[in-house]
Amino acid sequence: MAITRREWLPLGALACILAITAVWWALALWPLPSAAPDWLYRARDVCFGVTRNSLPSASGWMVLIAEPLTMMALLLVLRGGGVVRGIRLLSHSLAGKAVLTATVAAVAVGVAATAVRVRTATATPTQPMQVSGDRLPMLADPAPPIGLVDQHGAPVTLEQFRGRALLVGFAYAHCETVCPRVVSDVLRAREVMGVDAPAALIVTLDPLRDTPRRLPAMAKQWGIDGATLVASGAVADVDRMLDGWDVARQRDPLTGDVTHPALVIVVDADGIIRYRTSGGPELLAHLVRRL
């Protein structure tokens, strides 16, 4: 029995999901040669994070796993019957069996390669924080205005940080995964640098709930002292600031959760954005020292 267009469509969607997943995982895990362009290192860092063994960070692994599972679940909910019928029809022909066998083999090889990559990376001592920091390209983008309010009720402006390096992290109070790590990385980077510590600012990604009145409680929740500022403001003001600083985020209107990458921006003493990274205290300290 020939496969009709009705079966080909869900099978094509399944093939696209598998191909996108393969490219996504390759970008995150494939060892990059020393001659690789800087933009590729930067893309990997922004999308998946950088850890000591050059593997994705915790948030990076969440993205790698959640994205294909979400797409697959959506396909099965919408066209699950078509996928099953298409696979069943493919298995009735020699060519179809070859395609199915090759697909299963490719997935098995990918899983095995991932396991080998993780095992090798975790077993081999490296200095990726230094390497990653040296590979990140230095930017030269003037930092846009801030125009928010901190946990002390005082205005937060870019001008007040002039003459001193600044780490700007982005988080929100209801986040229990990426955000605590971002805040911890910023605070730890300041501790690592001691007397040479940069100024630090954590800007909310959820102005609807993280209102200026809640900032003192958020600072206490994150273990932030008075030297690190937490900022919020009117929803329009926060959104304007986040858009100006090119901070990607998407709010779920049902749960209120905000999907976002781990992001810390390093600003020099003249108010110029020099680095955008997923964080890591040693990496942040290294980048500040490079200014």
**What pLDDT digit, counting tens, does each position of 118-149 carry?**
877 665 444 444 445 556 788 999 999 999 99
- Write the CA distances from 173 to 191, 213, 214, 291, integer angstroms: 22, 13, 9, 31
Q: What is the pLDDT of residues 23-33, one digit of tens each?
A: 888 888 887 66
Residue 183 pLDDT: 95
Single out the residue of 130, 111, 60, 151 nearest to residue 286, CA to CA. 130
* 117 contacts 217 by C-beta, under 8 angstroms: no
Residue 254 pLDDT: 85
Single out the residue of 101, 84, 75 nearest to residue 20, CA to CA. 75
pTM of the model: 0.59
Compute the distance between CA of residue 186 and CA of residue 204 in angstroms, rounded to an integer: 14
Compute the distance between CA of residue 266 and CA of residue 274 in angstroms, rounded to an integer: 6
Q: What is the pLDDT of residues 52-106, one digit of tens each?
A: 556 787 777 888 888 889 988 998 898 888 888 888 888 888 888 898 899 999 9
